[in-house]
Structure 1
Amino acid sequence: MSASYFAPHTLDEAIEVMAAHAPDIVAGGTDYFPSRDRSPLDRSLLDVTRMPELRTISVSDAGWRIGAATTWTDLVRADLPPAFDALRAAAREVGSVQIQNAGTVAGNLCNASPAADGVPPFLVLNAQVELAGPNGRRHLPLAEFLKAPRRTDLQRGEIMVAIHGPPVPQGATSAFEKLGARRYLVISIAMTAVLIVLDDDGLISEARVAVGACSPVAQRLPGLEAALVGQSPDSPGIDADALPELTPISDVRADARYRAEAVPHQIERALQRAARYG
C-alpha cells in the first residue's frame, strides 16, 4: 500500500480523510517520527496543523480552550493568567526549543507517556479533551481519556480538537516542578503541578495537586488537596506518609523509593513558588 500525505484546512475534511484512508495523525511529529526509528513509512499521514480551529487559545469568564495543534511555543508566548503558570513552565520543559516550536499539546497527550510534561498542569486545570469523529463530537475528562501507558480513549476515526476547562478560580496561581537526571532535554523522573488559592490570611483555601512520571498515568491527589486547606503554603509539612494515594513505580530512571522521597519535596517547592507569584 502506498502512503499518502493529507493536510486538510477544515475539520470536516480531516474526518473524511480519516474515514477513507485511516491515516496516522501527525502534527509536529516530534514523537511519531523518532518512534519509527528507520522503518519505512507504510501508512498515510494526516497533518492537522493547517486547521485554524486547532490553533486557537482563549480564556474567558466562561472557561478556557486550547486548540489541539497549539505548539508549546505558542503556550509560552500566550498572555495567560497566573493559574496557567504551571502549564507554561511545563511547556518550557518539553524537549528543546526546536521541539517546542513543532510539538503540540495534543501530541503530548495522545502519546500517553507516563512522563508527558503537559499532563499534570492540565489535570490541575480540570481539563477535558474535545474529540471529533464520524459520530460527532464528545468531551471527556483528561483523567478518563488517558487509560494506560501509550493507550487513550481515542476511537477509530476520531481527532482531538481541543483541550477545554472551566473558569479558573479567582486569584488562583500555579507552579510546576520537574526532576530529571540533568537540567535540560530529559525525561522526567517525577514532576508535580499545583494550583492554589489563598485566603486573606495567606492560608490555602483551595488546592489541586497532580503528580506525573510516578504511576502508569499521571494522577491528582485529592486526599492531600483536602489536607492542605487551611495550611500555609510555606510550611505544609508533607512527607511520604501524607501521600497514601501515590504508589510510585520503579523503572530505568529511578526506583519507587526514590520517587516516594522526592515527590513531597517537589510538592512543597511548587506550593511555595505558586504562593510567591500569587
Structure 2
Amino acid sequence: MLNPVAAPPRLVSVSTIWLQPKTLPEALAMLAADPALTPFAGGTDLYPAQAARFAWGEALPEAILDLGALPEFWGIAADATQWRIGAGATWAQLRDAALPAEFDVLRAASCQVGGAQIQNRGTIGGNLCNASPAADGVPPLLALDAAVELASLRGTRTLPLGKFLLGNRQTERAPDELLTAVLVPHRAGDLRSGFEKLGARHYLVISIVMVAAMVRMEAGRIAEAAIAVGACSAVAQRLPALEAALRGSRPGEVAVTPGQLDHLAPIDDARATGAYRREAALVLVRRLLARLALPEALVA
C-alpha cells in the first residue's frame, strides 16, 4: 500500500494589510517606517510565490505596498541623454511602444515573456527586482547598457544594471528603496539588435537559454557590440571577449568560439543540463549574430 502524501500544515488565520500610497514620497515614507513591506506592481511573480508559501503553511506578508497608483512608476519618455522607462511599464507597453531600432531586442523579449495575460500585467521593474537567473528582461537591458533608478527618503541613486543584480533573487536594492525606473542611454548610428530564446515551447515557459545582442555598424564594420546570455549563470552575463573580437570586423568575419563563453556557469536542473545550456548558448549567439548581419531578416 502506498503511503499517503502528507497534507501541508493549515494556517489558522491570514491577515495581510494592503497599503496603496498615492504619491512616491508617501510610498517611501511607508517603506522607511516599515522596510519589511512587500512592494507590489504587476503581481505576476509575487502571487505564485505567495500561493506556494500559503499552501505549505508559511507566513504570508503582513503588509503589501501597492505601487499601482504612483504616477512616477508609469510611462516611457526620453530626454536629451536617455530613455526613462517607468518601473511599472508592462511588457505589453514595451512590446507596442514606438521605440527606436536599438530597442528591437527588448521588444522581441517582451513578446516572449509568459503569455498575453502576463505581458499585460507583468512589469519591467518587477522582473528586475525578482532577479531570477532566467528573467527575460535582463539580457536585453544589459545589451542596452541600462541602469536602474532607486529612490528612498535618503535620496535617489542610479546603478548600472550589472551592479544592481547580485545573484539568484539577490539585488542591491536596500530595504527602504524602491526601483522607480530603468534608464537606457541614447545611441546614434546604424543600430541593430535582436533576441533569441530557447524553451520547451514558444510561450508560457521559463527560458533554458536566451541571448540578446546590439551592434552598431560603421562603413560596413562592427563599431560596437554588446552581447548578453541569460539562464546560464546566477546573473545574466555579457560576453566581453567576444565583444572585443567583433569590434572593427565585418559581419561574419569573426568565428564565435566556446572559449568566448567560458565565464558562463550553467547548472543542471529540471529544464536542461549545464552542458546542454553551454552548447545551446553557443548556437544561439552564432545564430543571432548571423541574423543581425542581415537586418532585413530581423523579425521584431
Q: TM-score range by the shorter chain?
A: over 0.9
Tell me what 1:168 maps to. 187
Match of 2:217 among 169, 180, 198: 198
Deviation at 1:23, TM superposition (A): 1.6
Deviation at 1:235, TM superposition (A): 5.7
Mapped contact 1:66–1:162 kept (Cα < 8 A)? yes
Deviation at 1:259, TM superposition (A): 1.5
Deviation at 1:265, TM superposition (A): 1.6
Match of 1:5 among 18, 25, 42: 18
| Paired letter, 2:94 | L
Distance 1:61 1:211 in 2: 30
Q: TM-score, normalised by structure 2?
A: 0.87
Residue 44 in structure 1 maps to residue 63 in structure 2: yes
Please list every run of 5 or more consecutive structure 1 residues that lacks an aligned counterpart in the other structure. none
Q: How does 1:74-223 map to 2 (within 5 A)?
A: 74-200=93-219, 202-223=220-241
| Paired letter, 1:9 | K
Match of 2:30 among 2, 10, 17: 17
Distance 1:233 1:53 in 2: 41
Superposed CA deviations along residues 40-68 of structure 1, whole A, max 9, x for unmatched, are 64421111122121112123441111000
The count of residues paired between Structure 1 and Structure 2 equals 277
* SS of residue matched to 2:211: strand
Distance 1:61 1:136 in 2: 23
Distance 1:81 1:60 in 2: 14
Deviation at 1:29, TM superposition (A): 0.3
Distance 1:268 1:16 in 2: 49
Residue 244 in structure 1 maps to residue 258 in structure 2: no
- Stretch of structure 1 that moved more, 100-109 or 30-39: 30-39
Distance 2:147 2:260 in 1: 28
Distance 1:276 1:148 in 2: 35
Please list every run of 5 or more consecutive structure 2 residues that lacks an aligned counterpart in the other structure. 1-13
Mapped contact 2:245–2:254 kept (Cα < 8 A)? no
Identical pairs, percent: 48
Distance 1:82 1:4 in 2: 43
Deviation at 1:219, TM superposition (A): 0.8
Q: CA RMSD for the aligned pairs? A: 1.8
Superposed CA deviations along residues 180-214 of structure 1, whole A, max 9, x for unmatched, are 112211111110000001122x2212110000000
Which segments of structure 1 move beyond 4 Å, counting only runs of 4 or more?
none
Distance 1:253 1:125 in 2: 28
* SS of residue matched to 2:293: helix
Distance 2:113 2:146 in 1: 19
Q: Tell me: CA distance 1:236–1:60, structure 2 relative to 1, closer, same or farther (3 Å).
A: farther
Distance 2:265 2:206 in 1: 19
